[in-house]
């Protein structure tokens, strides 16, 4: 879906190739060797395709080559409202376009940030809905009020569906830490005297499990989000302030529409009733082994 948002219409073989390359590239970050290399510049030595940094650069280049081809083609045919079209036509105050390198960096950032995060969050949402019969029934009762003609923006406003998505993002936030913030001035914070230049890394997971804010925090209870509103300091799956996730509105919209559309089309059951534990996958907190499900029944529900 992030490929479609960024590049527009479905492009068959090109998508498959780029999708495959991207997944392989993201998988590199599952290994501590690769994540360590990213943070320690002296390990960043290209000793050929079989060395960690060499492989990283090789895979990165393969993606850049594919993106470059697409940008060249798109310069000829400007079509549509996708992000690549917008980037190609954007100009600064003096009428200058973005360079190819700038466009590629923007594309990679969006694909990287928008792929695994949303996919993991959706996998968790499917898991929670199907591991709690009461939640499933409440959600299906609400989804019974929509039909193929219902406007997607109306679906995204459904209260219980929204609460299910929020509670999924709370209990296992797919990004556990916000980016670090470096203090420009000294700060007195909860009795600590913090010096200028110190980098603070807010923990999203710990905020979401603070017992004063979320009693019984290990329990999946969408009702929390119906009973009260949480402030931007209490519920922070997309972190906060002026560097809050750029894609948060798209991600929430996407999650709600995918859940509603799939649940209206198929009856799913978890392939294995045992609890699924979280595991680090790249930069995200993902369901260990994935969420395997079986299709019990299929229905005709084609959204306009």
Nearer to ligand HEM, 110 or 259 (CB): 110
Out of 240, 253, 293, 301, which residue is the one contacting ligand HEM (CB under 6 A)?
Answer: 240
Q: Which of residues 218-237 bind ligand HEM (CB under 6 A)?
A: 237
Q: Which of 62, 59, 66 is nearest to 31 (CA)?
A: 59
Distance CA 102, CA 99 (A): 5
Residues 266 and 295 sit within 8 Å (Cβ to Cβ): yes
Candidates 92-100, 114-122, 226-234, 286-294; binding stretch for ligand HEM (CB under 6 A): 114-122
Q: Which of 28, 107, 110, 146 touches ligand HEM (CB under 6 A)?
A: 110
Part of the chain binding ligand HEM (CB under 6 A), chosen from 12-20, 51-59, 65-73, 239-247:
239-247
Interior/surface letters 140-171, b for 16+ CB within 10 angstroms, e for the rest: eebbeebeeeeeeeebbebebbbbbbbbbbbb
How many residues appear in the chain?
Answer: 304
Choice between 56 and 238, CB closer to ligand HEM: 238
CA distances from 221 to 163, 165, 167, 175, 244 (A): 9, 11, 7, 20, 25
* 138 part of the interface to ligand HEM, by CB under 6 A: no
Q: Which one, 135 or 239, has the nearer CB to ligand HEM?
A: 239
Q: Is 104 in the site for ligand HEM (CB under 6 A)?
A: no
Pick from 178, 263, 268, 291: which binds ligand HEM (CB under 6 A)? 178
* Using rule CB under 6 A, residue 250 touches ligand HEM: yes
Task: Compute how many residues bind ligand HEM; rule: CB under 6 A.
Answer: 23
Q: Is 109 in the site for ligand HEM (CB under 6 A)?
A: yes
3-state secondary structure 232-292: CCCCCCCCCHHHCCCCHHHHHHHHHHHHHHHHHHEEEEECCCCCCCEEEECCEEEECCCCC
Closest CA to 142 of 162, 122, 117, 125: 162
**Using CB under 6 A as the criterion, which residues of the chain lie in contact with ligand HEM when the complex forms?**
2, 109-110, 113-114, 117-118, 121, 174-175, 178-179, 237-240, 243-247, 250-251
């Amino acid at each position: 879906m992030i490929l479609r948002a960024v590049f527009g219409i479905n492009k068959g073989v090109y998508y498959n190739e780029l999708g495959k390359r991207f997944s392989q590239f993201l998988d590199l970050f599952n290994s501590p060797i690769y994540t360590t290399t990213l943070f320690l510049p002296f390990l960043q030595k290209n000793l050929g395709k079989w060395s960690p940094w060499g492989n990283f650069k090789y895979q990165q280049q393969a993606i850049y080559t594919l993106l470059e081809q697409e940008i060249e083609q798109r310069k000829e045919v400007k079509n549509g409202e996708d992000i690549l079209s917008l980037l190609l036509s954007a100009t600064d105050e003096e009428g200058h376009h973005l360079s190819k390198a700038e466009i590629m960096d923007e594309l990679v950032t969006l694909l990287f940030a928008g792929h695994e995060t949303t996919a993991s969050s959706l996998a968790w949402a499917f898991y929670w809905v199907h591991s709690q019969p009461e939640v499933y029934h409440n959600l299906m009762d609400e989804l019974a009020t929509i039909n193929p003609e219902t406007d997607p923006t109306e679906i995204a406003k459904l209260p219980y569906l929204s609460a299910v998505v929020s509670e999924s993002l709370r209990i296992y936030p797919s990004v556990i830490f916000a980016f670090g913030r470096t203090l420009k001035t000294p700060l007195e914070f909860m009795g600590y005297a913090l010096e200028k230049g110190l980098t603070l890394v807010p923990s999203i997971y710990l905020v979401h499990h603070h017992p004063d804010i979320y009693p019984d925090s290990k329990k999946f209870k969408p009702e929390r989000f119906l009973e009260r509103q949480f402030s931007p300091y209490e519920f922070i799956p997309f972190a906060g302030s002026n560097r809050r996730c750029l894609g948060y509105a798209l991600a929430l919209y996407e999650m709600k529409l995918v859940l509603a559309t799939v649940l209206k089309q198929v009856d799913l059951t978890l392939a294995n009733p045992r609890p699924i534990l979280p595991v680090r996958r790249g930069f995200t907190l993902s369901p260990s082994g994935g969420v395997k499900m079986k299709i019990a029944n299929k229905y005709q529900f084609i959204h306009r």
